[in-house]
Structures are given as structure tokens and as C-alpha cells.
Amino acid sequence: MSLALSPAARDLLQGWLAHVAALDGASAATVRAYDCDVTGFLTFQGTYHGAAPGLGPLRGLGMRDMRAWMADQRNRGVGARSLARRLSAVKSFYRWWAERDGFEATAVLATRAPRFQRPLPRPLARTAAREVMDTVAEQDDRAWIAARDLAVVTLLYGCGLRISEALGLTGAALPLGDGLRILGKGGKERDVPVLPTARQAVARYARVCPFDMEADKPLFRGVRGGALNPRQVQLVMEKARLQLGLPATATPHAMRHSFATHLLEAGGDLRTIQELLGHASLSTTQAYTAVDTARLLDVYRAAHPKA
């Protein structure tokens, strides 16, 4: 049976979460995930040692304690990728705590994350991306909704936005210029260029939308005037892929993958693509090089006379 955290441990954890939210700019969802991950780790250690996890025992955790927790997680069916994420949260907490209180957290910080194969992005072919936008533009008989859906999907593909970033825009973004300042993950800002096609799609939507484009209100609206739900964009893409016979991987996020992959295919610089996507680490962006290499190998095998 799991033991509750001691008041001191809970206060310490809350202090770290406040630090993450205030200084690291983590989103509310990220903070909740960190809370869940670290709370689970600390309560396991209490159960494992048979006492409510106080600060003293938690400072002195060794490799045996870490291996026991990881084994417990795997026995519960936690995959390698999820376990690596949880371990990363635990390490971040302990790193902050050790620096604050001046103790060694070697066993925790030296624990190796399980290896896992990151899935490669699944972009659409260029023709398929264009066909998706053409299909989305004709899905709804209501002109303003069809224009809205096309504007959103065009921003995903034309600017490489995440769906949350596109739906986070407000009327203050109008009229779109040559560039757009985006508030991305972790509260990080980045500037992205806006293609004429994207400007035109958003401008047309703004003209026919029945709701006022107030600066402090969402740019993209649902049928009742509230903020557009991301699920609606997912349904629009799902309908388009079924009409076009595309695979289930043809999601809104695939349009962002397509943006990055097609830039790379055209000779785009990896660092520039990293900045356009808002990736914190270049290693995340490098996944697109694997996609491009796989495409080149396919072309080679199909075209080379001795392949």
C-alpha cells in the first residue's frame, strides 16, 4: 500500500514545482505531469522502505533504491520512453534540491535512462499536403467554417506551427504580416515567416467569420463563438485523409512534420529549421534528417539499375 508524502516532502516538491513554473516557464500541463511523476517516485520509495518518505531518507537514496523503482515501473507495464520521461523529472527535482540544500544526489543523477527508439516523424508527400488543403477547403458548406479550417491547416503546413500554437493566436495577430511571433512550449517565443498563401487564407477567414476579431479574443472560433477546439481540427484532418486514402498518420501534427521535411529536402539548414519549429534541442530536429535519408534510399533503390 502506498504511503502519503510527509508534509516536509510535499512542501519541498511544491517549492520545486513553483520554481519550474516561474523560472523555467513550464506550462500548466507540464507542471502537472512533473508533480505526478515525482510524487509517484517519492511515494514508491516510502513504500519500499516501509515508512512515510521523509527528507533524510530521500537524500540518501542509493543505486539499489533506483533500480527497485525502475523495476517496479517496468513490472507495471510502463514503457521505456515513459520511464525515461519520469526519470528525467525525478533527476530535475533532485538536481534542484541538491543545489538548494548542498548535498550529493549522485545515485539519482547517475541513473541511466532506458534506451528506446524514437519514432520517426511521418510527413506527407508534397502533393498529398496540397491535396489535403484543397480537400479541407471544400469540406463544409458553411463558407466561414471552410475558410477557418483551411486557414488553420495552412498555418500548420505553411509556418510549421503546432496545433496549440495556431489555436492560441488572437485577433491581435491581424492582419498577418511577413512574420509572426509565436508563443511555444515552455513559454518560449520565436519568430516565423508567413507565406503569402497563409496570409491570404487567414485574411479570407477573418473577412467571412461572423464574429468580431477582437484583439483579446481567439482568432479561430467554434460555431458558437468560443475558442476552436483542437478536436475539431483533428476531425477535419481525419475526414480529409479518408477522402484522399491517406494513412492514419495524416494528422494535424503531420502537417508540421511535412513543413520541416520539405524544407530539409529543399536544402534548408538544420539549425534554421530548429528555430522555425521551436525545438529546444537540435537532436529533436535531427529526426528529420533520418526521414530525408530514408526517402533518398527509396529513390536510389527504385532508380539505380543494380539496386
CATH of the domain at 37: 1.10.150
Residue 1 has a pLDDT of: 43
Domain CATH code at residue 202: 1.10.443.10
Regarding whether 101 and 141 lie in a shared domain, the answer is no
User: Does residue 199 have an active-site annotation?
Assistant: no
User: Does residue 239 have an active-site annotation?
Assistant: no
Regarding whether 261 and 190 lie in a shared domain, the answer is yes
Regarding whether 132 and 105 lie in a shared domain, the answer is no
Residue 60 belongs to some domain of the structure = yes
Domain count, the chain: 2
Regarding whether 180 and 284 lie in a shared domain, the answer is yes
Regarding whether 205 and 143 lie in a shared domain, the answer is yes
Regarding whether 258 and 144 lie in a shared domain, the answer is yes
Regarding whether 190 and 146 lie in a shared domain, the answer is yes
Regarding whether 285 and 210 lie in a shared domain, the answer is yes
| 169 φψ region: left (φ > 0), alpha (ψ -120 to 50), beta (else) | beta
- The most distant pair of C-alpha atoms in the chain lies apart, rounded to whole Å, by 71
Q: Which of 95, 122, 253, 295 is catalytic?
A: 253
Residue 210 has a pLDDT of: 95
Q: How many residues are there in the chain?
A: 307
Final residue of a domain: which of 77, 109, 141? 109
Amino acid sitting at position 101: D
User: Does residue 157 have an active-site annotation?
Assistant: no
Q: Which of 148, 199, 204, 256 is catalytic?
A: 256
Q: How far apart are the first and last CA of the chain?
A: 60
Residue 96 belongs to some domain of the structure = yes
Amino acid sitting at position 209: C
Q: Tell me if 256 sits within 8 A of 161, measured CB to CB.
A: yes
Task: Give SS3 for 189.
Answer: strand
User: Does residue 253 have an active-site annotation?
Assistant: yes
Burial class (CB in 10 A: 0-12, 13-18, 19+), 272: exposed
Domain residues for 70? Answer: 7-109
Secondary element (H or E) of residue 80: helix 80-101
Q: Tell me if 258 sits within 8 A of 157, measured CB to CB.
A: yes
Q: Which of 86, 148, 162, 221 is catalytic?
A: 162
Regarding whether 152 and 104 lie in a shared domain, the answer is no
Residue 20 belongs to some domain of the structure = yes
Residue 1 belongs to some domain of the structure = no
* Closest of 12, 20, 19 to residue 42, by C-alpha: 12
Regarding whether 263 and 148 lie in a shared domain, the answer is yes
**Positive or negative torsion for Cα 301, 302, 303, 306:** positive
Residue 230 belongs to some domain of the structure = yes
Regarding whether 136 and 90 lie in a shared domain, the answer is no
Final residue of a domain: which of 109, 135, 157? 109
Distance CA 52, CA 100 (A): 22
Q: Which residue has the cell 508563443?
A: 183
Residue 114 belongs to some domain of the structure = no
Regarding whether 232 and 87 lie in a shared domain, the answer is no
Residue 301 has a pLDDT of: 54
Residue 164 belongs to some domain of the structure = yes
Residue 32 belongs to some domain of the structure = yes
Final residue of a domain: which of 109, 142, 160? 109
Residue 299 has a pLDDT of: 45
Question: Digits of tens for pLDDT over the chain (307 positions)?
Answer: 455 778 888 999 999 999 888 876 677 888 899 999 999 999 998 888 877 667 888 888 999 999 999 999 999 998 888 898 899 999 999 999 999 998 999 899 999 888 765 655 577 888 989 999 999 999 899 999 999 999 999 999 988 898 999 999 999 999 998 988 888 876 778 888 898 999 999 999 999 999 999 999 999 999 999 999 999 999 999 999 999 998 888 889 888 888 888 877 777 766 777 777 766 666 556 666 655 555 544 544 555 455 4
User: Does residue 257 have an active-site annotation?
Assistant: no
User: Does residue 85 have an active-site annotation?
Assistant: no
Using only C-alpha atoms, the chain has a radius of gyration, in whole angstroms, of 24
Distance CA 199, CA 243 (A): 26
Q: Which of 81, 185, 190, 239 is catalytic?
A: 185
